[in-house]
Amino acid sequence: MALQPAAGAKDLNPRQVEGNRRIRQTLAAVYRLWGYQEVDPPSIETLTTLAAGGGIAHEELVRLVSDDPLGLRPELTASIARAACTRMAGRPLPLRLWADGNIFRCSQGETGRQRIHQQIQSGVELLGEPSLVADVELIRLLLAATASLGLSPSHKPTLLMGHHGLLESLLEPLPAQVRERARQALTSYNRLGLEVLEQQLEQPGALVPLLALRGRPQAVLEQLQARLGEGPILQDLAQLLMLVSPAAERHGIALQLDPTFQPHYNLYDGVVLQVVCQGADVPVAIASGGRYDALVGRFSTPGSLETLPAAGVGFGFDVEQLRDLVLTPSTSPVPVLVAYGPGIPLNAALEELERLHREGSPAELHSQALPERSVAEAAAQQRGCSGLVWLGP
């Protein structure tokens, strides 16, 4: 019999479970304030849906043994986009939806064996609105949700922003055969890899300086304008930053523009986002997202009058990363211990237990009669109870 959880899985203790629930409830309250409605996408989907048009590598999907090609969702966005384009087609736009639940990802351990990772994600999707207004709303909601979590200044919360199109523009002067390698080196901050590419291209200084092209949004915009000239992407980014900066300042969240930033999954074709905080030892990413118009387009039905416009933007929080970052002492009421002595019938103890419950007071039962009150007091202290209700002499 196995005594440990499966590789990649975790046993959660009551405090961790309570911390997860508190974070999920806090985030859900913010989503509802902004008019977002809860949905519950299935954990099981077809592999075609889960792969999100190639945005998620097949080796990262947890596959099920079944007659059909099925797997467990690695994130929530693709399932919600599919449902929005089918079950919710024809509803007033934009669709404002939120969900939370378990997600499952696959990786290989050091020995080459498969590891399955179970995490909890909470996030929102804004679908059917292609304009900059949707990006602004989504980012300001992300800022408000982050501010609700009880982060301290020592966490140094920072919203990292980029744009898929910016990275493409920076790579466009390169020969086609090396663009993908340059993209991988830039997005993984691989300076050595970029230096090797520069030598192959015989273009010293063409790639490595791009690693330093990140920081205060206005300064980075000016450098990008000097390098790329005025263009619609930079104009939209400038307007976007102008509209979200007041909220970021109010919430105490720094903004950083990084044109080489791309999330792990290749789902996005517009603005991309990540919230990073300082952990105990290293920075921790607690949320990510962006615009994914092409993904919505893959699920839309061409020619239908009720087709959802190919437009979507969203984000997801990593609940367990957050829990480890902001885990605080439990605020749940601590139960009293109901204990009974010799000669007291069990039914009398049960009646007292349920009387306390009807009054809204948490209480738990000692399952056996105890010889005297002092023993019951020691048992209550050992179990961490807030007090004792003793039935007996």
Residue 126: count of CB within 10 angstroms of its CB: 24
- Residue 3: its pLDDT value, please? 66
In whole angstroms, how far apart are CA 136 and each of 23, 107, 272, 336? 24, 34, 12, 49
In whole angstroms, how far apart are CA 152 and each of 148, 155, 267, 318? 11, 5, 31, 18
The pTM score is 0.85
What Rg value do the Cα atoms of the chain yield, rounded? 26
* Residues 103 and 73: beta-carbon distance below 8 Å: yes
**Domain 14-326 carries which CATH code?**
3.30.930.10
What are the helix (H) ranges across the chain?
A: 14-33, 47-51, 77-86, 132-147, 164-171, 176-187, 191-201, 217-228, 232-251, 293-299, 319-326, 346-358, 373-382
> What is the biggest distance separating any 2 CA atoms in the chain, rounded to whole angstroms?
93
* Residues 256 and 215: beta-carbon distance below 8 Å: yes
Is residue 155 classed as helix, strand or coil in its secondary structure? helix
Structure tokens at 95: 């669709």
- Residue 35: its pLDDT value, please? 96
Burial of 328 (C-beta count, 10 Å sphere; 0-12/13-18/19+)? exposed
Paired strand residues for 293: none
The full length of the chain comes to 393
- Residue 331: its pLDDT value, please? 63
Angle at 104 between CA 99 and CA 107, to 5 degrees: 145
Please name the amino acid found at residue 197: L
Task: Determine the Cα–Cα distance for residues 134 and 124; give it in Å rounded to an integer.
Answer: 12
Which residues does the chain have with pLDDT short of 50? 303-305
